[in-house]
Structure 1
C-alpha cells in the first residue's frame, strides 16, 4: 500500500510551514506529498520550495490562479496527479501527530473511506506556535480543546470505527483517507460547489451511495487545528442544495469532476 498525502492551502504560509514540519517528523512517511494550492502568492511558494529541498519523498506543488475559493477544483487537480494507491487528505493549517500517517495506513481497509477527528488550538496558543515556528503541541497545552481526541489508543480506535455511522453528513475534510480508485469511481469532488461548505459531505455521500463504507478513525490519526478566521459562508446555501440533491437522488457521480484532468494527463 502506497500513500499520497494531499495538503490543501491558500495564502497561509506560516501555518503551512508548521504543517510541513510535522510531515517531516512522521514515524512513517508518505510516499509522496502533493500541495493543493488554491492560488497562493510568493510567500507560500517559498515555503513549498524549501520543503521540496528538505523532503526525502517527492513533493508536487499543484497550483492554479486565484479565482476565489475553489477547493474542489484544486483537490481534483491534486488527485489527478497523485500516483499512489491511497490518498490521505489534510489541510495546511494543521499539525500532525508524529504517527498520523502510520495510523491511517494501519486503519485503511478496502471498500471503505475514513474520516478523522481534530483538536482545536485556540488563538493565543496558535499565535505562539506560529511566532516560535514550533510544532510542539499536545493535549497538555493550555489552549487545546477537544482533548479526548488527542489520546492515542489503538483499542478505542477499532471499537469506535462505526462512531457517527448513522450521521451521513459527519466528516472532517481536514483529516480523511480514500483509495484513489474509489475517488475516481465517483469522479472526485463536485466542482459546481464553489466557496466554503458541504464539499466533503457531498463526496462522502456519493461514496456511500456507491457502496463504499464510511469508517471513523478516533484516538489515532491525530491532528491539531491552528486557529484562523472563518471563511465566507456566502455560497453555503447553494452548496447545501447540491448536497441535498445528491442525497435525494442517490447520486454516485458528478458531471464536473476529476475526469477532466485525467484526460489532460493522458495527453501530456
Structure 2
C-alpha cells in the first residue's frame, strides 16, 4: 500500500509481441511520481523475448512485476485480462496497454480520482509514426504534447482544478470515453460482473461491453480529463474481422439493463487459484 492510500493498487498492462513498445511503457512506469503496489503484465501469447524484457526491467522498478501468460491461440485479450486480474493483488486496478507511454503523473492522477462506486475513463494522445520511431530507436527520450496529432492536444493538458470540475460533468453519454488503454476500476466491481466477456475475441468492443455491465450494476462513470495523460505509440492496426460480431454482443448488453454478468468470464480463473 503506497503512502497516502488506504487501498492497494495494481497497474495492469496488456501486451502481445511488442517488446520494444512494452519497454517504453515499463520505463514510463519507473518514472512515475507515485508507484503502484505491483505491475501485472497480461501477455496474450508473446514469444520469450517479452519475458526476457520483463526480467530486465525488474531491476529498474522497485515493485513486483508479474507476467501472466498463455499460449498464442489468436487474439484472446479478454481471456488473458481475466487470468491476470484473477492473480492481481490490488484492490484498485489501473489498466493500460503495452503501447502506451504514461506521463509521470499518470498514477497520481488516477489515484486522485479513485472513489468507491465509480470507475474512471481517461484519454490518450495518438503519436504519429515518425515520433514513435524516434522513441523506439532512442533518438527521442520522451513524447511531448506538440508531438501528438493536433486533434488530441486537449488530452495532453494537466490542470488540477479543471480535472476535478470535469470529472462528473464531461462525457455524459454512456459510451463516451471508454478506452481500455486508460481506465481504472475496483477489482470487486469487476468480479461482481464476472470480468471481461471471453466470448469477445479479436479486436474491438471488449472495454465498452464490460463498462456497460458495470453501469447496469450501479457503478457510475467518471471521466479523467486534464490529467492521467497517456501517449499512444503508432503501430499498424489490428485486424477488425471480428468487430461486427463483437459490436453485436456490445449492442445486446447496452440494450438490456438487466445484463450485469457475462456467462464466460473471470469466475473460472478465480476458482483455479
Which bracket does the TM-score occupy, shorter chain normalised? over 0.9
Q: Residue 140 of structure 1: CA displacement?
A: 3.3
Which residue of structure 1 lines up, in the alignment, with residue 214 of structure 2?
207
Contact 1:122 1:145 in 2 (8 A): no
Once the two structures are superposed, what CA deviation does each residue of 1:107-138 show, in whole Å capped at 9, x if it has no partner? 11110001100011000010011001754112
Using the TM superposition, name which of 245-254 and 2-11 deviates more.
245-254
Which residue of structure 1 lines up, in the alignment, with residue 255 of structure 2?
248
Contact 2:125 2:148 in 1 (8 A): no
Which residue of structure 1 lines up, in the alignment, with residue 185 of structure 2?
178
- 1: distance between equivalents of 2:50 and 2:16? 8
Which residue of structure 2 lines up, in the alignment, with residue 260 of structure 1?
268
Using the TM superposition, name which of 119-128 and 138-147 deviates more.
138-147
Q: Residue 78 of structure 1: CA displacement?
A: 0.9
- 2: distance between equivalents of 1:106 and 1:142? 25
SS in 1 for 2:161: helix
In the TM superposition, 1:140-159 aligns within 5 A as 140-141=146-147, 146-159=152-165
Which residue of structure 1 lines up, in the alignment, with residue 70 of structure 2?
64
In the TM superposition, 1:1-268 aligns within 5 A as 1-132=7-138, 134-141=140-147, 146-161=152-167, 162-168=169-175, 170-250=177-257, 251-265=259-273
Once the two structures are superposed, what CA deviation does each residue of 1:159-203 show, in whole Å capped at 9, x if it has no partner? 221311223353111000000110011010000000000000100
SS in 1 for 2:146: coil
Using the TM superposition, name which of 247-256 and 176-185 deviates more.
247-256
- 1: distance between equivalents of 2:148 and 2:91? 38
- 1: distance between equivalents of 2:188 and 2:78? 18
SS in 2 for 1:249: coil
Q: Which runs of 5+ in 1 are unaligned?
A: none
Q: Which runs of 5+ in 2 are unaligned?
A: 1-6
Contact 1:119 1:150 in 2 (8 A): yes
Q: 1:142 to 1:90 in 2, by over 3 A?
A: closer
What value does the CA root-mean-square deviation take over the aligned residues? 1.3
- 1: distance between equivalents of 2:141 and 2:117? 34
Q: Residue 34 of structure 1: CA displacement?
A: 0.2
Number of residue pairs matched by the alignment:
265
Q: Residue 143 of structure 1: CA displacement?
A: 5.8
Contact 2:128 2:147 in 1 (8 A): no
Normalising by structure 1, what TM-score? 0.96
Using the TM superposition, name which of 179-188 and 160-169 deviates more.
160-169
Contact 2:127 2:147 in 1 (8 A): no
